[in-house]
Amino acid sequence: METLSIDTLLEMQRRMLRIRAFDERASKMVKRGHIPGTVHTSIGQEAQVVGATMALSPGDYTTGNHRSHGHPIGMGSPLGPLMAELVGKATGVCKGKGGSLHLADFAVGSLGESGIVGSSIPIAMGAALSASVRGTEQVALAFFGDGAANQGVLYESMNLSGVWNLPVIFLCENNQYALSTPAHTVTSGVIADRAAGFGMPGIRVEDGQDVLAVHDAVSTAVARARAGEGPSLIEVVTYRYNEHSEGLRLGTDYRPADEREAWLKKDPIQLFREHLRSQGVSADELDAMEAEVLAEVDEAVAFTDASPYPDPSVAFDDLYTDTEYAA
Amino acid sequence: METLSIDTLLEMQRRMLRIRAFDERASKMVKRGHIPGTVHTSIGQEAQVVGATMALSPGDYTTGNHRSHGHPIGMGSPLGPLMAELVGKATGVCKGKGGSLHLADFAVGSLGESGIVGSSIPIAMGAALSASVRGTEQVALAFFGDGAANQGVLYESMNLSGVWNLPVIFLCENNQYALSTPAHTVTSGVIADRAAGFGMPGIRVEDGQDVLAVHDAVSTAVARARAGEGPSLIEVVTYRYNEHSEGLRLGTDYRPADEREAWLKKDPIQLFREHLRSQGVSADELDAMEAEVLAEVDEAVAFTDASPYPDPSVAFDDLYTDTEYAA
Amino acid sequence: MTVMSFLGAIGAAQREAMDADERVIIFGEDVEANVYGTTGAGKTRSDKGDFLQMYGRNRIRNTPISEESMVGAAAGAAMTGLRPIVDLSYSSFLYMAMDQFVNQVAKNRYMFGGQASMPVVFRSAMFYGLNTGAHHSDRPYPMFMNVPGLKIIAPATPTDAKGLLRSAIDSDDPVLTFEACLLWGSKEDVPEEEFWIPLGEARTAREGTDVTVVAISSSVPEAVAAAEALAASEGVSVEVIDPRTLVPLDRDAILRSVHKTGRLVVAEPAHRTCGAAAEISAHVVEEAFGVLKAPIVRVTAPDMQIPFSTALEKQMYPTRHTIEAAIRRVLDLPASAEATELASASAQ
Amino acid sequence: MTVMSFLGAIGAAQREAMDADERVIIFGEDVEANVYGTTGAGKTRSDKGDFLQMYGRNRIRNTPISEESMVGAAAGAAMTGLRPIVDLSYSSFLYMAMDQFVNQVAKNRYMFGGQASMPVVFRSAMFYGLNTGAHHSDRPYPMFMNVPGLKIIAPATPTDAKGLLRSAIDSDDPVLTFEACLLWGSKEDVPEEEFWIPLGEARTAREGTDVTVVAISSSVPEAVAAAEALAASEGVSVEVIDPRTLVPLDRDAILRSVHKTGRLVVAEPAHRTCGAAAEISAHVVEEAFGVLKAPIVRVTAPDMQIPFSTALEKQMYPTRHTIEAAIRRVLDLPASAEATELASASAQ
Ligand SMILES: Cc1ncc(C[n+]2csc(CCOP(=O)(O)OP(=O)(O)O)c2C)c(N)n1
Ligand SMILES: Cc1ncc(C[n+]2csc(CCOP(=O)(O)OP(=O)(O)O)c2C)c(N)n1
Ligand SMILES: [Mg+2]
Ligand SMILES: [Mg+2]
């Protein structure tokens, strides 16, 4: 395991806190009707997101899924335009056209979240193809869930990227459920074990709540990819605290009553706080960081509130690069 | 390895001969314009087809692909309506509507060949689901090529049939090429090895020219399936002698010059003839069988020639069960 | 009769069909937990899990997220003795299985010369108008209408939802259902007993003599509202026809109405180009040109993807105001100031 | 100028684009061996393998048979600096990748508020009329026309094939090409130098004043033949418009022609319901009702799958005879005995 600077460790904690605080606020805003539609939070899964995104470098690419806020935040996207997007404001990162399910911030390498389960996996592979053809050292990483791991396009993409030896990492966020469906009831075999048949390493990070464990596994895959050794599959075992999506009111009866309690005890942010304390970071400094992050989220909301809704005509831009819409 | 009766062994040889003779005739008929379009022959792959189909029992199901004549012949479908179908006659097994790419003979459990690579794989799984829900002992087998093994739907189907524990066998006919493309250049990993990650046995039959080796592997999978132990993946290594499809005139430059010669030495029909001889079957008996099969093909052609073309109005039947076509 | 919601009606049809024929099975993502509210006891989502308890895991099956193999499995099962209902949840997910729909489900019976029949139903809901953004908001039924061999229903009322779905399940041909989520909550008296509405018969949602509006799915209540408004304000008599089944389409009913009125507006929530409205318009101009007194006007979603923001999305679908504006156009009535304003506020 | 086949013209456009811009790459099944004849030196299949030799394996890539991930890979590559051309060989295989086409290729730029552009071309050939049966004979462009965000070309001549494909490759938006295999062998003089035909501009294949025929893809030569026959036999002047680009469609050119002639026939090889002909008819009746002197008649493939047998298949697509019959109908000319017979022999 590579030794990381204390600054890097602190930045990990900061990004995890950002995801947590952003999603807790977003959850409230959905319930109050401030955000239309629904959102899927990454609360509980911060270590998995940040461990992965911080193993990447500037210029690298990610694609994600419906559990979508953590990925761009992990890549360093500023919170204001993300929050404004969730509310549908003109200043949103996608001008209000995308919403929670379709965040993207190309400035930080976030090539887009996908509401269609599994659908963004080959997009990341395409970015890796581009890097490979252009001869750069860029790497691409596709985030997807345990549910998405049963979409055929994943295996096509694993095969094709294996054949073309592309610098891509397939990162399965196994939070053990797809909506109401326990992963083990719809998964034959073990996801990470599927890599072998496609000629690539398959790593299962059992402690996906440990940001360093995730970071380590992903860093190894990134190093491989950059060295021209091709793709990897990484399965990270984690847990979502909230219901599938905020306000769905499906409840979580499909999960054993005490399961969540057990996972709360392994909270990634709490665990890493303890680790940082053990590395000599003071409680005050960590408290201050938490306060700063909360302030950032407040600012993002203030930015959002101060922003106008898009003009209706904006709905008719951006379909093509060069053609005006004509009914 | 189960001991097979001499009658069974003879029937294996007979079916291999049928496929060979039928396809050799069909190839000629394409080149002479007697069969419109093109056909994909199974010449060279007879052991793989017959070893598999003869491991099945009446009531079992198969689906196949564009290399399509061997599968129904292996299942025992009579040659006349198959040949008539290739020519587009009214007496064709599909009334002339299907053609070479879409043979099907439900009477022998052949649920249809598919011109779309990979597309019939889940159909076989569905037949297995049906058997499972209805509580019968039927088994389904999907034939597909090494090329099709890179279609995502295969892995979806492997997973789903694993989860539902369905009596289905995924049989990959690895003839080492998909059209002009060598399998090893577009396949990452080993096809049979992909089974493990999906929680099922994956068997690679290295000597796919040995009908008994194929029969043995498939019989084991069939027994498992019938015993309620779920699906299997079997990869059979084999070789097609002819070009990808008759009359394509792509040639076969993409294959090393001596490769075919080497495979011709392992001809499945010749090898099995020797085996039968060693089991005490006389050369006369085997010669007679060959003559009988050739006569069967002659009869099939005579049947075809004597059959009328379908009335043009037939094109407008059979789309729905209960609705007349209305322009 | 009992008051039933649209969603409850779907559940009721499924339950009755499961009771009547043990070859009927349901599979889909999250059907065991009744996440989408149609595998419960038939009225509300609170009867969660009922189907699983009533019919067991052999007939009610959760699937992995593998639409392509689900659709293929249903096709294979339908060809071999079952009558599956596949719950595909959102219509936007049908694309994952497009090959299976077009190349297997629609073609097999035909290609195999009638050896196969394909008694299978694929249900999905169109979730547009609910701020879910471009991925979840599709209304893709027109592309399936271009595929011979599929039947398609798009009911607009709870009664039609129940009666058409039951006919779909009992049909020996593959049927796709497109259920507008905006209609899920709508309620009306629905017969409690089993009943069947034949595929291919349009419903006259409102009789009239001056102009025909053919409206599809969630555009039906909008068209009726426009008709009422125009009756009140202008004394105009608008006939509203709801085809209910898109394939086979009740072309005769549409032509009969146009023969009576001489004028036609077609309203639907799909994208404009090559939509159902285009088909209906083209058919009518070819078959009833002589009786047409005015252009046929389409009211559709524009050829644009669906934006997320409420500020942007609400203008994307036909409303009573845009339909009213179209009716005024074909009747040569002055544009109502109010309707024009509301139309331009609510649609482009 | 040099005589070039349709297929050769495609190869030439690809070669020129590859020479002009190193971001252009080609991948697809069997492109290295030039199986489909468009990755050779530009004239015949005999120049097999040339592209691979000229551009190397970094830019000319064989793929596994994995259409869905190929299309997704192209989309991801296009968003990050390449300009891929994906050879999907047959149009019937596009369904495998439908989710990627609709949900990623068509939507990404829009959903992401213009952050992405998507310069990518997806080529495929429509192999109908060649006795390949239902799986390989599809002409599915209408379903893609219903998806906002895609551009679509369907050239009918070698010149258009070269010039439109070049514009497609140079476009910053995703373009699908539908190339009718029946036209592959057609030849004409084509400029040897680089040239671009703008997307969205129709071509007048033949000028005329009495009736407009809008014809698509392989229906264009059939329409021209029908026009010549009618000019000879009846002295009728038929204008034939070939839109060439289906999205964006040159609606103005069509309307201009109908304003001149007052009569319209639309011919295309796709299935009838919700086809391009429906769109064109619906648009014209809405925008030019006042000038229409006769019903708009569609000549299309019926809503039927494609049978294999020559005896069955030959009647499935528009021919000069069925187009002639339609023109006679809108002109109120008596059906020609010969044309009627040939039409009923060659189409239903
Ligand atoms: C193709 C497709 N099928 C189904 C859905 C509906 N859906 C949305 S999220 C979800 C569960 C996804 O599970 P997983 O991939 O494990 O991600 P998680 O929500 O657990 O993060 C489902 C079924 C969808 N959006 N797309
Ligand atoms: C979805 C799809 N993609 C591409 C093709 C074109 N095609 C027909 S056969 C073939 C090669 C198939 O190879 P394989 O599966 O190994 O079968 P084989 O021909 O070797 O028996 C290809 C690419 C097709 N029919 N369907
Ligand atoms: Mg999950
Ligand atoms: Mg092969």
Backbone φ/ψ region at D125: left (φ over 0), alpha (ψ -120 to 50), beta: beta
Separation CA A213–CA A272 (nearest Å): 11
Separation CA A67–CA A53 (nearest Å): 15
pLDDT at C34 > cutoff 90: no
Instruction: Residue C24: name the closest of C70, C64, C58 by CA.
Output: C58
Beta bridge partners of C175: C121, C151
pLDDT score, position C41:
58
Q: Are C61 and C93 found together in one domain?
A: yes
- CB crowding D174-201: b at 16 or more within 10 Å, else e: bbbbbbbbbbbebeeebeeeeebbebbe
Counting residues of chain A whose pLDDT is more than 70, the rounded percentage is 98
- pTM of the predicted structure, to 2 decimals: 0.98
Q: Are C71 and C107 found together in one domain?
A: yes
What ipTM describes this predicted complex?
Answer: 0.98
Q: Are C117 and C241 found together in one domain?
A: no
Domain boundary among C158, C190, C222: C190
Determine, yes or no, domain membership for D196.
no
- Pair C215, C270: CB distance under 8 Å: no
Per-residue pLDDT tens over the stretch C302-337? 999 999 999 999 999 999 999 999 999 999 999 877
Q: Which of C136, C271, C283, C321 is catalytic?
A: C136
Q: Could you list the pLDDT tens digit for every one of the 348 residues in chain D?
A: 899 999 999 999 999 999 999 999 999 999 998 888 888 854 444 444 589 989 999 999 999 999 999 999 999 999 999 999 999 999 999 999 999 999 999 999 999 999 999 999 999 999 999 999 999 999 999 999 999 999 999 999 999 999 999 999 999 999 999 999 999 999 999 999 999 999 999 999 999 999 999 999 999 999 999 999 999 999 999 999 999 999 999 999 999 999 999 999 999 999 999 999 999 999 999 999 999 999 999 999 999 999 999 999 999 999 999 999 999 999 999 987 766 666 665 544
Inter-chain CB proximity C272 and A327 less than 8 Å: yes
| Cα(B15) to centroid(ligand 4), Å | 21
Question: Greatest CA separation found in chain D?
Answer: 61
pLDDT score, position C217:
98
pLDDT at A324 > cutoff 80: no
Q: Are D178 and D259 found together in one domain?
A: no
- The residues whose Cβ lies within 5 A of ligand 4, an ion, are B 145-146, 175, 178
What is the span of the domain harbouring residue D272? 203-347
* A neighbours by CB contacts (3+ pairs under 8 Å): B, C, D
Per-residue pLDDT tens over the stretch C161-210? 999 999 999 999 999 999 999 999 999 999 999 999 999 999 999 999 99
Q: Are C138 and C238 found together in one domain?
A: no
Beta bridge partners of C180: C126
Arithmetic mean of pLDDT over chain D: 94
Choose the closest CB to C295 out of D289, D297, D307.
Answer: D289
Domain boundary among C145, C164, C190: C190
Separation CA B61–CA D270 (nearest Å): 34
pLDDT score, position D347:
47
The CATH number of the domain holding residue D343 is 3.40.50.920
Determine, yes or no, domain membership for C153.
yes
Q: Is the CB of A49 under 6 A from ligand 1?
A: no
For B182, phi then psi, to 5°, come to: -65, 135
Residue type, B321: T
Residues from chain A that touch D286, judged by Cβ atoms under 8 A, are none
Choose the closest CB to A163 out of D64, D81, D251.
Answer: D64
Domain boundaries, chain A: 6-303
Determine, yes or no, domain membership for D105.
yes
Beta bridge partners of B72: none
Q: Any idea what DSSP says for residue D285?
A: H
Inter-chain CB proximity D76 and A111 less than 8 Å: yes
Smallest CA–CA distance from C104 into chain D, residue: D135
Q: Are C137 and C164 found together in one domain?
A: yes
Per-residue pLDDT tens over the stretch A244-259? 999 877 766 789 989 9
Q: Could you list the pLDDT tens digit for every one of the 327 residues in chain B?
A: 678 999 999 999 999 999 999 999 999 999 999 999 999 999 999 999 999 999 999 999 999 999 999 999 999 999 999 999 999 999 999 999 999 999 999 999 999 999 999 999 999 999 999 999 999 999 999 999 999 999 999 999 999 999 999 999 999 999 999 999 999 999 999 999 999 999 999 999 999 999 999 999 999 999 999 999 999 999 999 999 999 999 877 766 789 989 999 999 999 999 999 999 999 999 999 999 999 999 999 999 999 999 999 999 999 999 999 865 544
The CATH number of the domain holding residue D27 is 3.40.50.970
Separation CA C115–CA C124 (nearest Å): 28
Per-residue pLDDT tens over the stretch A265-295? 999 999 999 999 999 999 999 999 999 999 9
pLDDT score, position D43:
43
Q: Any idea what DSSP says for residue D9?
A: H
pLDDT score, position C48:
47
- In angstroms, the separation between the Cα of residue D252 and the nearest Cα of chain C is 15
Determine, yes or no, domain membership for D197.
no
Residues 6+ apart with CB under 8 A from C192: C1, C2
CATH superfamily of A6-303: Thiamin diphosphate (ThDP)-binding fold, Pyr/PP domains (3.40.50.970)
Q: Are D171 and D314 found together in one domain?
A: no
- Pair C221, C119: CB distance under 8 Å: no
Per-residue pLDDT tens over the stretch A184-193? 999 999 999 9
Q: Are C161 and C235 found together in one domain?
A: no
Q: Are D239 and D166 found together in one domain?
A: no
Inter-chain CB proximity D273 and C287 less than 8 Å: no
- CB crowding A216-242: b at 16 or more within 10 Å, else e: bbbbbbbebbbeeebbbbbbbbbbbbb
Residues from chain C that touch B89, judged by Cβ atoms under 8 A, are none
pLDDT score, position D155:
98
Smallest CA–CA distance from B149 into chain A, residue: A156
Domain count, chain D: 2
Q: Are D78 and D147 found together in one domain?
A: yes
H or E element in which residue D173 lies: none
Q: Is the CB of B148 under 6 A from ligand 2?
A: yes
Separation CA B28–CA B17 (nearest Å): 17
Domain boundary among C151, C167, C190: C190
Q: If you average pLDDT over residues C54-61, what whole number do you get?
A: 96
